[in-house]
Structure 1
Amino acid sequence: AKAATLWSMSIVPVCVCVDSYKPVIIVHGIFDGPQQFQNLSRFIKKVHPGTEVTVIDLYDDLLSLQPLWKQVPDFRQSFNSIMKNAPDGVHLLCFSQGMNLILSSYSTDTDYLQKVFHKTLKKNVHFICYNKLGQKVSICDYWNDPHQRLSYLRNNIFLPLLNGERPHTWRENFLQIEKLVLIGGPDDGVITPWQSSHFGFYDSSENVVEMQKQEFYLNDAFGLKTLDQRGDLVTCVHSGVKHTTWHSNFTVFRNCMEKWLT
């Protein structure tokens, strides 16, 4: 497999290689499509003229609710067709749900349900998501309820595999990522907790546990610890940025992305 640099704007991946810069592939998030990433494409071409940028035009808008395991093969086929023409590798920019798609596609937490379910219903979301019907909706594929750990591990068919919480053989492929850049911030307004954009999450008391203290990190379940130890895991925190504006914020682009797009 070709090497890649991977961003998550989790909150925020294909093209033909050009003279100086690797092609950039952008993967949109839930309820998004190519139109929302016109600004980001312009930013890239402004600072790195000649870069070919492609926003994958698959499962746009409401179609993004399709089960993630249904979407993964199509996304994989799309960016693999570009990577085969990019001998030096590509850059993958993934917004929100797009991060889960690409980690899965690359072979292998965001939480949008607070926008779908009222907060008072949060304790009952697991009844909706942790069953065969719920797992046919993309946002349920990455609903992680810290109060329903056993049900999550038993019935969620997507995220526990991605996080290495159930056995899989994806670790070697994950470690082919050259640089993983995680972008997020406390004013996101959608990602809950916002630290999940950096692989943090709640414990059973809803206290935030940082990435380096997560079990999947300590056990190096899918290679995140190895990536970190070799210096290829970067986090970038920005305050004052709302969830839907990460990919159109030029300051975020300059501070968190530009220097890696070479």
Structure 2
Amino acid sequence: MKIVREAPSGSLVVDLGATKVASVVSSRIRTSALPVLPRATDELAWLAAWIAEELTPAIHRIVVAAAPEMDARGVVRRWPNRPEWLGLPLGTALAFNGVSVEILADGAAAALGEASEQGLERMLYLGLGTGVSTGWVVDGMPVPVREPIDLAHTTIADRSAECVCGRRGCVQAWASGRGIMDRIVGLGLGDLSWNDIARRWSGPALAHVRRGAVDALSAASRVGAEMFGCEVVVIGGRLVGLLPGLVADVRYSLGDGTLVRMGRLGGDATLHGAVALARVLDQPLRPR
């Protein structure tokens, strides 16, 4: 893990993903698998208890970068990778006495992390992990902070890939870790490891999978960059380094002068961004 800047005093920073959860208190990082339990309410209770173990009397704020799409009340509105969480009150579950809770989309947090790392004021971020996270940074801050504009479930011309959301042809169905694995199994190549996929990614056996991922990310880049006038697209996440040539292929596919960069923080971008936001929130308001 690339060293994360210290969380500000009094803040607990949490990265809630589909398969794992991580936290930062000061400079101490803790990670754990997010369990799959018989009921989603049990999983939420486990998460609340796990976070509560990190609380001390000095903690007055929790900043959560969350994979599920949330509404303004902190209720899960959508989470294709854990659909049973629909309607669960994440914000209320983490509302410990005397502690404020700030929730932002994981894509927004990762975008802020990469923007801070690469010195960018305006950019679109596409993160490849279990799913595909998206986020924008404008004037050095993620927008919108709480409710994501989700490019992962927009569709491309090739509708042959079924997505976990129930639709066909989503960007996530082609370019996420789960989607890529599903496409490979569909080709009859068996259950390959990511090291196997990395070795074969540029070869003929995975040409259809590679083309689908490139087309999906190119489509998301075009739409997303136009929305906020971004001339820089960063493709990151924990999987991008295992897919050789992917970023260059997307850059070539776009062919319109858009600057496409590889992320530098890998799967740690979300945690970096959440810490960066905690530091912003910790700054006193300046009088106008």
Higher normalized helix content (fraction of residues): 1
Higher relative contact order (CA 8 A, sep 6+): 1
Query: Given the two structures, how large is their TM-score scaled by the length of structure 2?
Result: 0.32
Higher normalized strand content (fraction of residues): 2
Query: Given the two structures, how large is their TM-score scaled by the length of structure 1?
Result: 0.34
